Structure 1
Amino acid sequence: MRIVVLTSQPVPRTASVTADCLDLLRSWGARVDVVLPETLVDVTSLAPDADLYLLKSVNDHVVSLAHALAAGGGRCVNTADVARLCRDRVAATASLAAHSVPVPQTWTTRDLPALEELLQDGPLVLKPGRVGAGTGSRVVWDVEELLDLSPTEQPWLVQRLQETSARDRKLYRIGEQVFGVKRRWPATSLLEKQGEPFTVTEELHRITDRVGAALGTDLFGVDVVETTTGPVVVDVHHFPGFKGVPDGALRLADYIFAAAAGSEPEVLQDDSHQNNSHPNHSHQNHSGRGRA
């Protein structure tokens, strides 16, 4: 079995769920290669030669390469279409709303002065319309702050600032499993980045069902804000870091191993991972598949 990770950045080795996941896959007998497509690639003769491709980046070059591999029959975890949708915050928010996912009131514009009227009703959160556009998100409280912003060719995603006293909540979906992590923002230490797990309610689980339908995948992360009227989703991530998920590396590795083998991932219980072995402690008969 060969699994290829497509990414624009090397996988970090420190405190990385992804790196630990890849190490587990290798220990289970899979060949795992991390490919940074910086070299010359002949796309006219590109042919998939791996059992599974793992698309980790929303970089345009990497996503285009994943699309080319898929066109040749390659199978990819989180397809190019999913990555493109998640990178486009405007399209992603519209898709979430269309699938009855609770989101803040949202606008989009390139004309910042057009937001002056909206500021009369309270502060706004401005996010670049595309993830990785080189401009960070910011909160704008008044017209003076708005006029201080530099014009940009990129569209803005504009949302009403949500009033909440709770810590940021992140939901991670791995197959049918959903995990919740409370996290301080901004996180200034590794411990704060790990956050604190919390019990996912039926309402939050249903929200991830709708997010999955909107994105077309069951592997993703969402940022949730708890408001006085209920939870709202303020951002989506096509391949998050999964920090704070109990046994996150093992759960993720099982999902990817099953996808590479063409079978359904085994549902892993919270107390089922006491070591780094394969979930049934054997590579010979897991979900009907043999050792790679």
Structure 2
Amino acid sequence: MNDKQKEAVIEVRDLVKQYADVTAVDHLSFEVYEGEIFGLLGPNGAGKTTTLSCIEGLVKANTGSIRVQGADPVSQPGRVKQEIGVQLQSTSLLPELSASEQIALFMELYGRKPQKDLVDALFAKVSLSEKADALPTSLSGGQQQRLALALALVNDPSIVILDEPTTGLDPQARYNTWQLIRELRDEGRTVIITTHYMEEAENLCDRIGIIDHGKMLALDTPAELVKSLDGLSRISTVTPLSVEEVAQLPGVHSAWQEQTRINVRCYDVPGVITKLHELASAQGMKVEGLTVHEPNLEELFLNLTGQRIRDDN
């Protein structure tokens, strides 16, 4: 089924959101299709959270339009509220209420009677049945995330929004969360995630939108996004050579300085490496710490935004 045959459950058209003199979202347009996992990637401050807040109806855009299952989040918040489930950050959990009490409270807020079988089913879905009576402070990070996901499902939403769902989790807890997200899609729900983990986006997402400065830079399946690099690899090295002279070498597509390293994009990796060594040797210099990065989603992200998805410093 091609994109034109799929049903868009979220439509964002020419969205603009400004805060004073800062444009957080800049004429952004995209669609999210029914039953897909859609990833929204961008550097910190790219406009991801603001965009999600507009979709959820928490923030009103300056101009543009949003439709969630045909409803306007601003003028029809009740309809949107019934369609969307949003995962809270673990710090938003109520510390004085047990897990089951929090589920019951959220059900009542959505006008649903917190029947025991419904509550038990939610805990079973997120593999947290044995912690139903526990306070959030006694739960591990992964268990808190699973409780937050259960809270996002109390209204049985058709669309689930997860903002950084695995941040701070150990590898096993992250894997368990991935499985839960896939199960949500397999049930026919639509899932939107933001993430700082590129392998998470590659493993989970059916399509990915990369945004920066509030603009959509690329949107496609992970495989097609990587293919758009057209086979360009990146060579990274430490050398006293100037980036200007490296950029002039035969076979170099582009070159730039990143702290103490020079990065080179090229097709012919062996040939360009040879040219680098020849140029450095002719000037009595060396090329050291050389690494080669094959085309992948991380490389595309770096190519489009000039930044890495995560700053580990």
Query: Structures share a fold, TM > 0.5?
Result: no
TM-score, length basis structure 1: 0.30
More strand by share: 2
TM-score, length basis structure 2: 0.28
Structure with larger Rg: 2
More helix by share: 2
